[in-house]
Amino acid sequence: MKRILFKVGTMLTALMTTRVFAETTDKIDQYTLNMRKGVTDISAEVYDMHMLMFIICVVIGVGVFGVMFVSMFFHRKSRGAKPANFHESVKVEIAWTITPFIILIGMAFPATKLLINMEDASEPDVTVLVTGSQWKWHYKYMDNDVEFFSKIATQQDQIKGKIPKGVNYLLEVDRPLVIPTGKKIRFLVTSDDVIHSWWVPDFAVKQDANPGFINDAWAIANEPGIYRGQCAELCGKDHGFMPVVVIAKEPAEFDKWIAEQEAIQMQAKEEEQRLLAMNMTMPEAMTQGEQVYLANCAACHMPNGEGLPGVFPALKGSQIAVADKPRHIEIMINGVTGSAMQSYAKQLTMSEIAAVVTYERNAWGNNTGDLVQAKDINAVMNGQ
Amino acid sequence: MTTTTEVNHDDDHHDGEHHEHHIPYGIKRWLYTTNHKDIGTLYLWFAFIMFLTGGAMAMVIRAELFQPGLQIVEPHFFNQMTTVHGLIMVFGAVMPAFTGLANWLIPMMIGAPDMALPRMNNWSFWILPFAFSILLGSLFMEGGGPAFGWTFYAPLSTTYSGDGTALFVFAVHIMGASSIMGAINVIVTIFNMRAPGMTWMKMPLFVWTWLITAFLLIAVMPVLAGAVTMVLTDKFFGTSFFDAAGGGDPVMFQHIFWFFGHPEVYIMILPAFGIISQIIPTFARKRLFGYASMVYATASIALLSFIVWAHHMFTTGMPVAAELFFMFATMLISVPTGVKVFNWVATMWRGSMTFEVPMLFALAFIVLFTIGGLSGLMLAIVPVDFQYHDTYFVVAHFHYVLVTGAIFSIMAAVYYWLPKWTGKMFHIGLAKWHFWCSLVSVNVLFFPMHFVGLAGMPRRIPDYALQFADFNKWISIGGFAFGLSQLIFLVLLIKACKKQGEPVSAQVWEGAEGLEWEIPSPAPYHTFETPPVVK
């Protein structure tokens, strides 16, 4: 019994932390000066548009400042310059109103064309629902039975400076989004809580994730590779720790990958049902619970369970965590409306929820001795 | 605009008014004052203290961003620093500084004895310290102060914020009331108290730009008040203005906020245009090239500012038609702005220039503000804005227009009119040190932000990926240097207030024209009790 449980446990853990990008080469961009060209036709056009704008602005700047510097040098009193008396020339003033106007029209045409092209997300080959929540992304393939959460994979010790930082510091996730190359991917972007913004610079895609509304964007990645971005809209405490990683694979490889994922997720669901019949021991629940807690809860409630006073409530010694067990389980499953507490029903398996509830009820001096099992969670979820 | 004037100096000394003979002293002078010069001084010192306070927060931000990793502060406190830094600089430093200049200068420029509503003037200043005490006090509350950015986007500022939000809302209400009262005062003064002969098209440009700014303030501060009130009721009283679950819309918050926010940007730059238009002709010893076109350009910028707000929101998922409209409208603003820059350059052309400290700041303003304006034009282009939006490129852009734009113009103004206020020339050596240190450090501080932004560094993050490390180090060093440079300014101002320095003439600067240069230096406590006649 215990052994089966362990096997399933390791399998689920493996599923959660699969590094699917092992076989693809990781291109670390060394761009630190300019916008990147990216890997889609659109992103290359955006880059060209950016360079065009940049050059026009530099030319205007050099012209205006040039005249100004010439006059600062030659028309100074110390060189004996006598002030002229000219002012108000209708011709000159019309000229310097019309000329910028014509330049602007010249810019507006290509910009409009490009924008209309960018906003046309029709007839996609693959559709992915991207949902932001504090502080992770959830990806759901609309045409397949595959969905998962994607969280930052950089260790806290790297952030706190206790160990050296890796090359992809803050730009690495546990489970990247995988897409096929050469196919039109439509991203439906939304949020479960505050506004986030899903940004992949290499695709020139930045789309706000608004709670209650769905935006779309699209990309056709021309080259296989790993593309990294970040959340671009301030979304609370860990806004800086919400990376986006997308892997583009050849279509054949992608098909293989998605089929594998479907099988794994199907199997995981079956395993979860089977787990309902089993019981964890206290040490097992505490070990797994601590892992789950640190990965999902500690960002707000803090590793020591004390929360952030006034913002995120403490669990240590809280009424719910030491007394009201049904409410504790219900909060884990449904979240708390009107607060930052999310629903974990979809994010964690029932045995994980059971483990973390057990952990919270016994850690940091909350010594209730309560041991919650997956079937207890199942009972609440199914309204029993 | 020629202003030939006759000032009857005798009128400064009698007229049967008794209050003018004994200037009140001590704390009561400042607390009860209805004198536009005293209130102007209060506003300016308040703004400078707030500038140093907001600057200290920027130092915390730059210290944390000096290298990758979390070293000094926690992310939640970092967010409070970025938020309160922004709020203090906008509402506590730039806006009160301009109001202080308006108080000092508008009556002297139009030949009025004081502001039209002196008691309200006193009140609009004295509620400000309370507003900012509340805002700063919220930092010490359980859960901390506002941590949702100065733009306080819902629902981060509603459902997901700490209880300190209530204090933030109250503080913003008070700031808004203060601004509205200040604006009413400016409008009433300019409309009713101009000296005989001071026709609309003879008014100095600083007066014109402030008049237009005052209308913008009255138009949009109530919108801000509405936005914060809706945030308050959404958070504490169960309404759902910005909550989709209750039928609201979080993007509507952004529309309301930026309908205030974009004119607000021009509130912070139009008076700067006025200041520069006063200073350049003085030190070029040549009339402003196109006075009328400057007035019309200011008015067109103000009108256009109402139809461009959504360019802050291109990534929110607006319809293409709306994106195009706001792109075109935004691009259009560069036309009148260009007219202004061309006008200043044409004024300098074939002038007889000297480079006193106010002129140095004014010239730096023209170059650096134009850089900020040009990056603004790039940001207007929607398809590329998707890449720029919410990155350090935007941070670079708005610091160029606000720091080297608005704040440099305020410094130029202070150096320009300070001798008139104190009657003594400020310490020129310190002033030049202040200028050159600020000029170099401000560019080390803000220029590399363009690069990290283009390379993909989002704004408002307490920690960043390794490829941004080198530039961030330089940015922080520039930041510390710029912060320290302002202490030179502090020393200079203290010396000036102690009335140290060489006495100056009434005109102060060779080439300075206008009513304020015809009254003695220092400007008497009461001026123009009998209006001058402007011919």
pLDDT digits (tens, 9 = 90+) for B191-239: 999 999 999 999 999 999 999 999 999 999 999 999 999 999 999 999 9
What separation, in Å, do the N-terminal and C-terminal C-alpha atoms of chain B show?
10
A141 sits in the region (left: phi over 0; alpha: psi -120 to 50; else beta) called beta
Confidence at residue A300, expressed as pLDDT on a 0 to 100 scale: 87
Residue A18 has pLDDT above 90, yes or no: no
- For residue B358, give the 3-state DSSP assignment: helix
Residues of B in contact with A343 (CB under 8 A): none
Length of chain B: 535
Q: Using CB atoms within 10 A of its CB, is residue B335 exposed (0-12), middle (13-18) or buried (19+)? A: buried
Residue A237 has which token pair? Answer: 């405490």
Based on the residue annotation, tell me whether B9 is a catalytic residue of this protein: no
Q: Which of A60, A35, A62, A39 is nearest to A50 (CA)?
A: A35
- For residue B372, give the 3-state DSSP assignment: helix
User: Beta strands A126-133 and B5-6: pairing type?
Assistant: unpaired
Residue B492 has which token pair? Answer: 């200079």
Residue A118 has pLDDT above 80, yes or no: yes
For residues B98-114, average pLDDT: 97
Residue A123 has pLDDT above 90, yes or no: yes
Confidence at residue A15, expressed as pLDDT on a 0 to 100 scale: 41
E strand or H helix at A377, and its extent?
helix A374-381
Confidence at residue A13, expressed as pLDDT on a 0 to 100 scale: 44
Residue A342 has pLDDT above 90, yes or no: no
- Banded model confidence at residue A3, pLDDT cuts 50, 70, 90: low
B381 sits in the region (left: phi over 0; alpha: psi -120 to 50; else beta) called beta
**pLDDT tens figures, A283-330:** 888 999 998 998 888 888 988 999 888 788 899 988 888 888 888 998
Confidence at residue A30, expressed as pLDDT on a 0 to 100 scale: 52
Residues of B in contact with A213 (CB under 8 A): 244, 249-251, 317
- With an 8 Å Cβ cutoff, are A71 and B348 in contact? yes
* Chosen from A46, A135, A160, A237 to mutate, greatest number of chain B CBs within 10 A: A237
For residues A336-359, average pLDDT: 86
- A8 vs A237, more confident: A237
B317 sits in the region (left: phi over 0; alpha: psi -120 to 50; else beta) called left
Confidence at residue B150, expressed as pLDDT on a 0 to 100 scale: 96
Based on the residue annotation, tell me whether B150 is a catalytic residue of this protein: yes
Q: The sheet that has A215-219: what strands, in order across it?
A: A146-150, A136-141, A126-133, A185-191, A215-219
Residue A384 has pLDDT above 70, yes or no: no
Query: CA-CA-CA-CA torsion for B370, B372, B377, B381, nearest 10 degrees?
Result: 170
- Banded model confidence at residue A383, pLDDT cuts 50, 70, 90: confident
Own/partner pairs, A6-10, CB within 8 angstroms, 24+ separation: A8/A271, A8/A274, A8/A275, A9/A284, A9/A288, A9/A351
- Number of CB pairs < 8 Å for A and B? 305
Measured between CB atoms, does A306 come within 8 Å of chain B?
Answer: no
- Sorted by sequence, the CB contacts under 8 Å of residue B350 that are 6+ apart come out as A71, A75, A81, A83, A84, A86, B286
Residue A197 has pLDDT above 50, yes or no: yes
- With an 8 Å Cβ cutoff, are A310 and B371 in contact? no
Q: How many other C-beta atoms can be found within 10 angstroms of the C-beta atom of residue B349?
A: 18
Confidence at residue A27, expressed as pLDDT on a 0 to 100 scale: 44
Chain-wide mean pLDDT for chain B?
93
Residue A373 has which token pair? Answer: 């099992």
Among B12, B114, B516, B518, the active-site one is B114
- Banded model confidence at residue B17, pLDDT cuts 50, 70, 90: very low
Q: Distance from A369 to chain B by nearest Cα, in Å? A: 31
Q: Distance from A263 to chain B by nearest Cα, in Å? A: 35
Confidence at residue B15, expressed as pLDDT on a 0 to 100 scale: 44
- A377 vs B39, more confident: B39
Cα A3 to Cα A12: distance, rounded to the nearest angstrom: 14
Q: Which of B498, B501, B500, B493 is nearest to B52 (CA)?
A: B493
Cα B217 to Cα A275: distance, rounded to the nearest angstrom: 64
Is B23 within 8 Å of B525 (Cβ atoms)?
A: yes
Based on the residue annotation, tell me whether B509 is a catalytic residue of this protein: no
Of A44-53, B79-88, B94-103, B526-535, the one with minimum mean pLDDT is: B526-535
Confidence at residue A100, expressed as pLDDT on a 0 to 100 scale: 93
Q: Distance from B304 to chain A by nearest Cα, in Å? A: 15
Q: Distance from A370 to chain B by nearest Cα, in Å? A: 31
Residue B2 has pLDDT above 60, yes or no: no
- Report CA A177 to chain centroid distance, whole Å: 10
